[in-house]
Amino acid sequence: MTFNLAFKALSDPNRRQIIKMLQDGDMTAGDIASRFDMTKPSISHHLNVLKQADLVQDVRKGQNIYYSLNTTVFQELIGWFYDLRGVAGESGKNSKPR
Amino acid sequence: MTFNLAFKALSDPNRRQIIKMLQDGDMTAGDIASRFDMTKPSISHHLNVLKQADLVQDVRKGQNIYYSLNTTVFQELIGWFYDLRGVAGESGKNSKPR
């Protein structure tokens, strides 16, 4: 995974909002679009940026494509912050994600 | 602080490298430049992006300006990841940065 693409993807508030939605469960692009005041092409664009950054995965189930969070990559990002000595605090250091 | 600017700033590998250097202690722009194969104006540009994102602070000491990490903002970023249920894992959740 590339940290460049991941952090760039996270720099947009709509994309962070999509991530927050997906923590509650997988969603189709239509599900996501219905909760945004945004056109479907815009939603598709944001989902593609998130996919290219590996933050989100898509899985076909029957006729639908569901989007889900790629928790591995989020753990790698959290790990980057924890590797900053003195930033996360000692209690954090001891529980660095495995 | 704005998450948009912070994540955008982190999307550049040179800026992430500068952050890693500053974890070991405050540095002047000259100190930082001496450890990069990069022009001083480029270093200044990256330091400005980091400053505008509030990830880095500058403090004048005598004739020099020293750059240091703004640990508060890093903790807010870590907090954003921890607020994602199911991503950080249970051990992480219990030690969410205060």
Query: Tell me, what's the ipTM?
Result: 0.85
How far are the Cα atoms of B33, B57, B85, B89 from residue A90, in angstroms, in the given order?
Answer: 30, 22, 22, 18
Predicted TM-score (pTM) of the model is 0.86
Q: Residues of B with CB below 8 A from A81's CB? A: 74, 77-78, 81
State the pLDDT at residue B94: 43
The DSSP letter of residue A37 is: S
CATH of B3-70, one of 3.40.50.300, 3.30.590.10, 1.10.10.10, 3.20.20.70: 1.10.10.10
The vertex-B19 CA angle with B15 and B21, nearest 5°, equals 115
CA of residue A9 relative to chain centroid, distance: 8
* B34 pLDDT more than 90: yes
Under the banding of pLDDT at 50, 70 and 90, the label for residue A84 is: confident
- Cβ separation of B81 and A86 shorter than 8 Å? no
How far are the Cα atoms of A75, B2, B38, B39, B51 from residue B33, in angstroms, in the given order?
Answer: 31, 27, 7, 7, 16
C-alpha to C-alpha distance for A67 and A26, rounded to whole angstroms:
5
Q: Residues of A with CB below 8 A from B6's CB? A: 11
N residues, chain B = 98
CATH of A3-93, one of 3.30.70.60, 3.30.43.10, 2.60.40.60, 1.10.10.10: 1.10.10.10
With CA atoms as reference, the chain A residue closest to B15 would be A4
Q: Does A71 touch chain B (CB under 8 A)?
A: yes
Q: B72 to chain A, minimum CA–CA distance in Å?
A: 8
Lowest model confidence (mean pLDDT) among A11-15, A51-55, B54-58, B93-97 = B93-97
Please report, for chain B, the start and end positions of each structural domain, with discontinuous segments joined by +. Answer: 3-70
Task: Name the maximum alpha-carbon separation found in chain A.
Answer: 49
State the pLDDT at residue A88: 62
